[in-house]
Structure 1
Amino acid sequence: VHQAAAKAVFAHYMVGTVRQEHAQKDIDDAKALGFDGFALNIGDATQDFVSSTLSYMFPYAESVGFKLYVSMDVLLTTNGSGMGYKASSAYYQVEGKTLISTFSSGGFHDTNWTKWKTGLADDMFFMPDFDETDGYYKAADAWWDYWRDIFDGIFSWETDWPARKGYGGLTAGDVCVDVLPMKGAHNRSKPYMMARTGLKSILTQVKYGTNVYRQGDLNLVKRMQIILQMDPQPDYVQFITWNDGPKSHYIGNLWVEQNNDTQPWFYANQEFWPHKAWQPLVASFIDAYKNGKKPTEMAPQSGQVVGAMWCKTILVDSVDCGYESAVQFDEKPDGLDNGADDVWWSIILSPDAGTGWKYLVSGEEDHENALSPGFNWGSSAGKVAGAQRLQVLNPSGDVVMSATGGLYVDTGCPNLIYNSNYQVIGL
């Protein structure tokens, strides 16, 4: 019988060129939201910035009580970089062992991974994501027999987005594909880590050699709600990501020194495309998840109401950038036509706020409805060009909070590319 681990929530963190004060600011911001730590995405560990950034982060994390662990990009390295800090009080441990993760098998076989673990004296708690391997999603006995005791737990990555090329959920927010892998892990007394994100929009060949849009829409809030309703729940949750600008799925800071390549900066930067307005929603979820609360019991960290709205600045049904060329960056992303012309929103109303609260969201027709205690979310009845708006009305009918501003929705191609990143505007 699986014994549930102490619930912990992490944010995936891209290790890159970052100034010391910025790395420390990231830790402070994440800790204030309730995160337990960062999963440190380490690619090419021979780069000087890797050792420099780790030397900033571990001592500071020790001083403030924040945790870190290594998540290897096995397409670039399997050398266990960062293990020099395994004795640090900031290195996250499970059952007294240092946690290491990945988000791919890298195409390696069981013998390769056994040899790798032996080379590190098997001194770790290994919780990887091998969801691209045959049998993973079915939790097949043959799959578990093949990998034997290589795993101490498992982590799912692709389940966090709608399906593409056979990987992912059926729709935005779907968790059905998590159920069998989690059950397979729990049946073998191993923990399961579940991923959470807003969207995935990759428009640059410079960073990743691809041009893809995978729906976010209500993915973030749907998966937060369903996780709180699951029985059993995942043992760990990982938000993807804190700072991956080129892939557009970030909730934290995008520092200029790390996110300054021309193409990704065009559609993901802190000045025009911040996502920090999602953070109050994330903080409320973390509190609810750790304390066994239901969605109706979610509450803001402070005050009576928090919330945000988000949308793309293009209209999928009409956008035609007309600048397509042999350069992949300019092409229409694979999956763009699956997008919707809506404004998505979420509001958390304190259960102690009383009744009579309402929201008003703009669209082809303004839509007004009652707010329920706790977690509320939805979409507009169609997005129109121009400014978007979300308002909260108190029981007296007064507008007490508004989300508006940001870049306008345009009928054309305002960024000269098929930019599917979100404007995220807080109340």
Structure 2
Amino acid sequence: MHPTMHLLVAIATALAVCIIPPAQAAKEVFAHFLVGNANAFTLADWQHDMQLAKSASIDGFSLNIAAKDPNNGPSLAKAFQAADSLAAGPFKLFLSFDYAAQGAWPKDQVISLIKQYAPHASYFKPNGAGKPLVTTFEGSSSAVDWPGIKAATGCFFIPEWTSIGPSAAATAANNVADGLASWNAWPDGPTNMTTAPDSAFRAALGSKKPYMMPVSPWFYTNLPAFNKNWLWRGDQLWDTRWRQIIALQPDFVQILTWNDLGESHYIGPIRAAPPSGPATALFAAAGAPLNYALQNPHDGWRALLPFYIQQYKTGGRDVKITQEKLVVYYRVNPARACAAAGTTGNNPAFGQTAFPPDRMVADRVFYAALLGAPADVSVSIGGMVYKGSALLSLSAGGASGVYTGSVSFSGRLGAVVVTVSRGGKKIAQVKGPGITTSCQNGVENWNAVALSAP
């Protein structure tokens, strides 16, 4: 008996547009990039990743740097050289000082790095006003440093101080922040993501300071050496969150992340081979019971970004679709196939209620199709084909847009093939790894694979 397809509505093409504060430039989308995961990158590696990001309509990278990392200097030098050299114009970069990874940054070092890199052509300056954008990952206890840093560098300061809440972040150090970035990109518990956290940030900022809204496709981490072992709900998150961005029209968007393999929210490529692939060595170094990234590419999540980002930048107006695409994502291990290895749903250390991890995820194959008109979908799992009715959209005229849905794989094992067709003609097809109860080292992999076609 075929299960009923669960179809979600597509992105609406007529959405409300907010007023952009005068201090802010045209809307920009950045991907958070962990520089510490690129210590072995060559100049060519940096150029390759930047070109991939540009191809996905990403405007630049927010370069996360940890205090005391001896590789910051060589890595940043290559990053800015690569960005300055891109043939299609500079890829935009700005510094994001991480105050959590290896402790707080000394004030003088922050000033020195901003002064060193802000003159680069590729350094992002909102609205072309000459003020280099600088952000943080946490570090609210060092807020008192920033009036002096701003005076010395003239930077435009948008910190991420989510842990103390929007109101406290907005007023810290006598209102030192010129805007705020949020890290609230994942839902709390087995529910879908809402825009309540974003509304709280915008209310705290008022109408004249910009908000950097986060978007992420997934979250799972199991790194015992760092006391990290939890997941947040990622089902339908990427598509849902982009719809929210298009509706809310924030001043900036930050994708979390380009290359954080350890938290499973990367959208960039996985490099496993030397010389530039040792980022995957993180799992062994952190005592992880399995390498949950190596066989789990997330490249598919970049496929629809040009459409999402253009919708965001145009305020949800109709966008001409020149190529139809299909994105498919799912976990390869059923939720109760193997040992959970202590993984919790939510993180109790953040004051959240812990849930069994299998409550946070659904055993389903999810798909999102960028289409110019309604079409049909079939999902084959282990040779059993599940057919859905025509994909429908609630966009203007019920025509072009992103169409989403899912099929349960509960009780089914084997290869996954998702096909979208119209009038009997195949439009796109994704063939993915099989659903299996065989788990790496007997441990459940809560990460997803994300694939696309063509």
TM-score by length of 2: 0.79
Q: Does 1:237 align with 2:257?
A: no
Find the counterpart in structure 1 of residue 147 from structure 2. Answer: 114
Aligned equivalents of 1:260, 1:179: Cα separation in 2: 39
* Residues 391 and 82 of structure 1, relative CA distance in 2, 3 Å threshold: farther
Q: Which amino acid is 2:227 matched to?
A: G
Determine the structure 2 residue equivalent to 1:167. none
CA–CA separation in structure 1 for the residues paired with 2:172 and 2:440: 51
Deviant stretches of 4+, over 6 Å: none
CA distance, structure 2, for counterparts of residue 313 and residue 26 of structure 1: 27
Matching residue's letter, 1:331: G
| Other-structure match for 1:331 | 342
Equivalent AA in structure 2 for residue 378 of structure 1: G
Q: 5+ residue gaps in structure 1?
A: 165-169, 325-329
Question: 2:81 matched to 1:59?
Answer: yes
CA distance in 1, matches of 2:161, 2:387: 43
Structure 2 letter corresponding to 1:182: R
Which protein, 1 or 2, shows the higher relative CO under an 8 Å CA cutoff with sep ≥ 6? 2
- The secondary structure found in structure 1 opposite 2:281 is coil
User: Secondary structure of the residue that 1:91 maps to in structure 2?
Assistant: coil
Cα shift at 1:122:
4.9
Q: Over residues 327-379 of structure 1, what are the superposed CA-to-partner deviations in whole Å (9 max), with x where a residue is unaligned?
A: xxx433444132221111111113xxxx4522223579724132342111122
The corresponding residue for 1:222 is 240
Partner in structure 2 of residue 210 of structure 1 = 228
In 2: Cα distance, 1:377 partner to 1:315 partner: 21
Paired position in structure 2 for 1:43: 66
Residue 298 and residue 310 in structure 1: after superposition, are their counterparts in 2 closer, same or farther (change >3 A)? farther
Which structure 2 residue ranges, 5 or more long, are not aligned? 1-18, 272-276, 347-356, 394-399
| Amino acid of the structure 2 residue aligned with 1:310 | Y
Counterparts in 2 of 1:310 and 1:85: CA distance versus 1, 3 Å: same
The separation in 1 between residues aligned to 2:178 and 2:330, in whole angstroms, is 39
Shift of 1:416: 2.2
Q: Measure the CA separation in 1 of the matches of 2:123 and 2:374.
A: 47
Equivalents in 1 of 2:227, 2:319: separation in Å? 40
Partner of residue 315 from structure 1, selected from 309, 334, 355: 334
**Residue of structure 2 in register with 1:129 after alignment:** 160
Q: Determine whether 1:70 maps to 2:95.
A: yes
Aligned counterparts, 1:8-407, within 5 A: 8-16=28-36, 17=39, 18-44=41-67, 46-64=68-86, 65-75=90-100, 76-78=103-105, 79-80=109-110, 82-83=113-114, 84-94=116-126, 95-108=129-142, 110-118=143-151, 121-134=152-165, 136=166, 139=167, 144-157=170-183, 159-163=184-188, 171-187=191-207, 189-206=208-225, 208-230=226-248, 233-255=249-271, 256-263=277-284, 266-269=291-294, 272-294=295-317, 297-298=318-319, 300=321, 302-303=322-323, 305-316=324-335, 318-321=336-339, 330-335=341-346, 336-337=357-358, 338-350=360-372, 355-362=373-380, 366-371=386-391, 372=393, 373-383=400-410, 384-394=412-422, 396-406=423-433
Q: Tell me by how many angstroms 1:52 deviates.
A: 1.1
Distance 1:184-1:299 versus aligned 2 partners, 3 A rule: farther
Shift of 1:50: 1.4
SS of residue matched to 1:343: strand
**Fraction of identical pairs, as percent:** 28
Partners of 1:86 and 1:414 in 2: how far apart? 45
CA distance in 1, matches of 2:149, 2:213: 25
Does structure 1 residue 424 correspond to structure 2 residue 446?
A: no
Q: Any idea what the Cα deviations from partners look like across 1:393-421, whole Å, max 9, x if unmatched?
A: 12x22333211222x21235345222111
Alignment CA distance shift 1:356-1:128 (3 Å): closer
**C-alpha deviation, 1:106, in angstroms:** 4.5
The verdict on how the C-alpha distance between 1:289 and 1:203 changes in structure 2, with shifts beyond 3 A counting, is same
Which deviates more, 49-58 or 73-82?
A: 73-82
In structure 1, give the amino acid aligned to 2:281. N
- The one-letter amino acid of 1:252's match is G
Distance in 1 (alpha carbons) for counterparts of 2:196 and 2:379: 30
1:409 aligns with 2:435: yes
- From the superposition, tell whether residues 225 and 415 of structure 1 become closer, same or farther in structure 2 (CA, over 3 Å): farther
Q: SS where residue 259 of structure 1 aligns?
A: helix
* Number of equivalences: 388
